[in-house]
Amino acid sequence: MKTIILDAYNVIHELPELSAKLRHGLRDARKALLNLMVDWKRENGFKWKVCIVYDGQDGVFNPEKTGLCGVDCVFTGSREEADDRIISIVRRASKTTEIVVVSADGRVVNGCRVHGARVESPSFLKKKPKKKNGKTVSAAGKKISGKDEHEINKYYKEALGL
């Protein structure tokens, strides 16, 4: 399975539509990134495993920890940076050629490339899926799992206060 790993705060600061959410706080920016990746996964097919890695802090509850619709959110502890966790994930992977790391941080870029991962800038997330016979290849119209459907419904009920 292909895996895409995001250097979360780097992506948030690099994409204008996400960095604008910082005016309302980190939580809003994290939710916007999570929603972006749920949409990205839908548009690019459900064959991708998505992992968003954040710098965390020991003892702080992170409600986005579990993610949404197959998009995992990981928060490091106080003694580990997200950069180190991402490089470690790539280094330990058995098939690094199936990993795409999204970051503009030189340390992450170089640390992941040296282990064989493909590295893309955050703008990669805004590219539309490749076209086939003049039509955009998309997962739209495909059925989602019952678990994903449950997670989507739960998320929107909470967001709408239902």
What domains sit in the chain, N to C, each tagged with a CATH number? 2-160 (3.40.50)
Tell me the pairing of strands 135-136 and 131-132: antiparallel
Q: How many CA atoms lie within 13 A of 100 on its CB side?
A: 13
Tokens of 97: 């050629």
* pLDDT number for residue 60: 55
* pLDDT number for residue 64: 47
In the chain, which stretches have pLDDT less than 70? 58-67, 130-144, 148-162
pLDDT, tens only, 107-123: 999 999 999 999 999 99
**Residues forming beta bridges with residue 49, ordered by sequence position:** 3
